[in-house]
Structure 1
Amino acid sequence: MTDSIIPNMKRFPETLVAFLLALLACLHAETVTPKAGKLESENIIAVYGDASIAPTPPPGWSFHWNARGNLGDSAGYAPLSYDEKARAYGVRDASGALRTDAPGHTISRGIGYLDVSAMRDKDGVARCYVASYKLSADSVGEVWINHGNLRTPLSYGTDLRVYVNDQLKAQSLIKRDRFAQVFQFYLGRLKKEDVIHVAVGPSENSPKAAGRLFYIIEDCQAGQKPAKPVNIISPALHASAPQFGADGKIGTAYADKHKAQCAAVVATRPDLVFIGDSITARWPQEVLEARFGKHRPINLGIGGDWIQNVLWRVQNGTLDKAAPKVVVLLIGTNNLTGKFTPDELTADLGALLKAIQSKTPRSKILLLGILPRGASIKDEINESIRQTNAKLATLANNEQVFYLDIGDKLVEPDGTISPAVMPDKLHVAGPGYTRWMEAMGPTLDKLLNERP
């Protein structure tokens, strides 16, 4: 026993030194390597998504293109001008109109809309779109680009570069995907009047660049990494997520709407709940009251929702303390716009149905088929809708979950969809809701009046 202890005692000083050296190395690594985790505090310096939709750039912001030089030479950048009629920033031609052969961005947040564009000129020079932000003060900690989103439809991708002043800090080829690619870049400690340039341009040998762009500039505590970037443009497959604002946080209006709906459910104690996206949200309340007033119908539609957004709402209080007799669910058309396949959409809707059942297990769910869209039933999107609805029908067990497709009632005998029924080829108008109610009413009457 003594013999075994003495050799270890002799090695103790050597072991202690090794331990202390290792500890110092770890401490040094902590100071120079950003570590993951939620920040105790955060300081958003600027939000591109908010700045880009302003007719006059907010303080610190400016929009350019590399008119007289290469990227990384800001002396050769020229400002973009805003055209009120086009609701876009761009380069004006001799007549004052915006050129179609020069970079710019359009003010829009529609699903899939291309709000940033750039291209190669006739000499093959890449003319890039550049969003610039000048710091008004020294950073307190270290600066990051966070909650970056870029979705491009181009098969050859789109080039993304970030400069501080004229020094390249990050570069990434954003490839075409159904979902936005998210990014996060470390820029380090910056000083007052440093300029951050985010440039979008053609990838190597490609003729143009295009996409949807979001990002924030964030000041983080030294040695800390900001929160994981979120997909602002489109929720990921099988995700549970709210609608995010341009700053990467839950949208303020969305959060307020969700909170108000949760409170309304508690106050109303409805027997009948409608939940979905803007098509549901636009139901005329007087139509619902006229037919189902005694069942205290409540509308839980929110415009822009995907299946993943409704799943988040259900998991975060929408149906808490509710025990409706029937939940009418219509959701999924935005997922189809986002290029979900019928199988993916059906799988996500199946998960949503289970979430609803877990919150209100005694309720019956009337799952509606996705409504037709466009000018005619022959429009390409309607083939995807037909394929999807055939799969959605299999989710019904006719005990707790029931399926009903009323889409044919919104279509004219010749296969067209009347502007009186769908003025914008997507959202239902008054006459359409009347037809919808006539088609759905008998099924709802039966489900509401059946004993549990």
Structure 2
Amino acid sequence: MLARLTIFVLILMLLAIGWKAWAYRKSALSALRKVEVISERFTRTDFFEEDNRRWIDSGERPDVVFMGASITSRWNPEGKLGDLAVAQRGVGGQWPSHYLLRFRSDVVDLHPRAVVFKACAITFRPGVNDKGTRRAILDLTAEAEEAGIKPVLATCVPVREDGNTVYGSDGKKLPDGINDRMLPFNDWLRTLAAERGYPVIDFYRAMADDRGFLPADLAVDDIHPNDRGYEVMTATAKPILETLLGAGRG
């Protein structure tokens, strides 16, 4: 009798363990799916899926891909860089760490001759780590070179003076504004480019006023250039890219 009771209890325990394991697996899979959905929405790895497919199906390849955030997303230099074929791959709200997650689909799979990496002001908001940003740039340039793509570094466009102030989660003004973190990053980019032999498109120096900010006549808001500002960006990028790639398709 005792032996039967023991066996019965063991069976119940095994069933309970099996049920718990099944429920845990179901819960874990559900949580993983939610993470995947949130990650997909946040990183926007499929944002350019249709245009990427168009490039691949055409059998053509862009001469240069512009990888960036909101400033890049609003910029359309196609047809303004000589005969260079351009693919714009800017996604608003992203910083270089996000670029890594979509780099293969948005750049490598298109087989461009060059890729321009450009960060936006959001990269210097609270919660974004400067060391992580620099590491992402190093990883991006390494992946580009491994794929036979020429890396081009672009300095960040300065913010307008009224867009420089940053506040913490407690609502208090932080000691360092956006430009205070942007300037060392731009200097680091220039140094990296000199060490590695990468071209630099120096948007900052082309657009900053004598105080280091984005002039009002080049801005549509506190961060983004207006049409005239984008004309300056195009004029700054064109000679650098034509020197690197020639005036036409390779």
TM range (shorter): 0.7 to 0.9
Counterpart position of 2:228: 431
Asked if 1:26 corresponds to 2:20, the answer is: no
Identity of aligned residues (%): 19
* Equivalent-residue separation in structure 2 for 1:363 and 1:258 (angstroms): 19
Q: Counterpart of 1:347 in structure 2: which amino acid?
A: R
Counterpart position of 2:68: 276
Counterpart position of 1:227: 31
- Per-residue deviation, residues 353-407 of structure 1 (Å, max 9, x unmatched): 233334xx222111112221132697621010012222333443444x4334320
Quick check: 1:369–1:407 contact (8 Å CA) kept in 2?
A: yes
Bigger radius of gyration, 1 or 2? 1
Asked if 1:308 corresponds to 2:97, the answer is: yes
Quick check: 1:269–1:324 contact (8 Å CA) kept in 2?
A: yes
Counterpart position of 1:371: 157
Deviation at 1:252, TM superposition (A): 10
Counterpart position of 2:171: none
Q: Spell out structure 1 runs of 4+ moving beyond 6 A.
A: 17-20
* Equivalent-residue separation in structure 2 for 1:346 and 1:387 (angstroms): 11
Counterpart position of 2:210: 413
Say which of 148, 154, 159 aligns to 1:362.
148
SS of match in other structure, 2:67: strand
* Equivalent-residue separation in structure 2 for 1:353 and 1:19 (angstroms): 63
Q: How does 1:103-114 map to 2 (within 5 A)?
A: none
SS of match in other structure, 1:340: coil
- Per-residue deviation, residues 65-84 of structure 1 (Å, max 9, x unmatched): xxxxxxxxxxxxxxxxxxxx
Deviation at 1:327, TM superposition (A): 1.0
SS of match in other structure, 1:300: strand
Say which of 346, 370, 385 aligns to 2:134.
346
Q: How does 1:229-268 map to 2 (within 5 A)?
A: 248=38, 250-251=40-41, 254=44, 257-266=47-56, 267=58, 268=60
Deviation at 1:426, TM superposition (A): 1.0
* Equivalent-residue separation in structure 1 for 2:90 and 2:19 (angstroms): 48
Unaligned 5+ runs, structure 1? 1-13, 40-219, 232-240
Alignment size in residue pairs = 232
Counterpart position of 2:239: 442
Q: If the length of structure 1 is used for normalisation, what is the TM-score?
A: 0.44
Counterpart position of 1:215: none
Counterpart position of 1:318: 106
Asked if 1:289 corresponds to 2:79, the answer is: yes
- Per-residue deviation, residues 307-360 of structure 1 (Å, max 9, x unmatched): 232211113x222443222211112532322432322210122222233334xx
- Per-residue deviation, residues 406-433 of structure 1 (Å, max 9, x unmatched): 2022123354522331221111221111
Quick check: 1:330–1:370 contact (8 Å CA) kept in 2?
A: yes
Q: How has the CA–CA distance of structure 1 residues 352 and 375 changed in structure 2, closer, same or farther, with 3 Å as cutoff?
A: same
Q: How does 1:52-71 map to 2 (within 5 A)?
A: none
Counterpart position of 2:172: none
SS of match in other structure, 2:31: coil
* Equivalent-residue separation in structure 2 for 1:340 and 1:445 (angstroms): 34
More helix by share: 2
**Higher RCO (C-alpha 8 Å, min separation 6):** 2
Quick check: 2:160–2:216 contact (8 Å CA) kept in 1?
A: no
Q: How does 1:196-215 map to 2 (within 5 A)?
A: none
- Per-residue deviation, residues 234-261 of structure 1 (Å, max 9, x unmatched): xxxxxxx9xx6xxx36339946532123
Counterpart position of 1:383: 180
Say which of 379, 383, 392 aligns to 2:189.
392
Quick check: 2:120–2:157 contact (8 Å CA) kept in 1?
A: no
Q: If the length of structure 2 is used for normalisation, what is the TM-score?
A: 0.75
